[in-house]
Homo-oligomer: A and B are copies of this chain.
């Protein structure tokens, strides 16, 4: 198998290389009757797009989505929805000299070892370009989740290198190119990024996604737990090295008397669990965080080997993000939305549309 599909009942299959003719996806399992148009994809693709500010890669991606199937007179029909984006700013020649070299920190070596062949143009299939289609597919999921269940999925940057927000203002997140919840710190972030670029280096980041409005009962014991599927979805984003649900690694040093979220008749008294118990949603906000590594494509030269095992020096002169974590915010949202959509359908397959029989904790 080759695992280019995500989701069991709301299944997204993506295809395409960074500098091939096109990227695209097929979304299978969408409920019928959902209003959908090409314009619906513009906002989230723009949020993900590079070239948005001088702090992210300067590749210009038009990212115009064409709906090839599955929509009739503006409504989903229940048949597969295929989306296509032509690669218009592909510059394969930028990468010609790298065809022979394994860039450190990249998938060059591993693809070669796995397949004995690789498309070296811009990382080929391993490029973050592929995540464009995750964001596109998630637009469909977000629409259905919002309309049917009132679910809202929002991400923000929670750390950039050593910098952490000193305030949290949800309204600030979409008003700056860093998805940063503390507007006052934006100049500081810009200076930080400029210094980084000048040094020819890059830095990691932490992104947090919160899903509000998820009803209790989504998630499947014991190998399809909501947190386990979120972990896979988020760890599968390029450059992610860690995933936390709720308290995450802070739980290691916590006491049980602190961590367990006590319950009063009018609601949970805390949310260290991040909205999930036993792999099933509690009705509290779902909270997930990820660690993104600093991009390996930097100006500072690094040691590596070529196809013949000889030592070479690698320095990346192409268009790259000094912090890939920034762009990861809408991608992380997308993956959370795809997981929730899939679990929503799985839940109603087994348990039906009917609501819970026991009183809900508010």
Contacts and interface: CB of A to CB of B under 8 A. Distances in A.
A117 B269 contact: no
A241 B249 contact: yes
A256 B161 contact: no
A279 B26 contact: no
A191 interface: no
Interface size class of A (residues with CB under 8 A): 35 or more
Nearest to A14: B222
B235 A77 contact: no
Contacts of A274: 241
Closest 3 CB pairs of A and B: A107-B278, A3-B224, A105-B260
Contacts of A348: 348-349, 352-353
29 contacts: A2-B30, A2-B220, A3-B223, A3-B224, A26-B26, A31-B350, A68-B84, A72-B119, A78-B117, A79-B119, A104-B260, A106-B278, A109-B277, A110-B219, A206-B249, A223-B236, A227-B240, A229-B232, A231-B236, A241-B245, A241-B246, A251-B291, A251-B292, A252-B292, A258-B294, A265-B305, A305-B361, A346-B349, A348-B349
Contacts of A291: 244, 248-252
A282 B109 contact: yes
Given A249-B206, A264-B311, A82 B223 contact: no
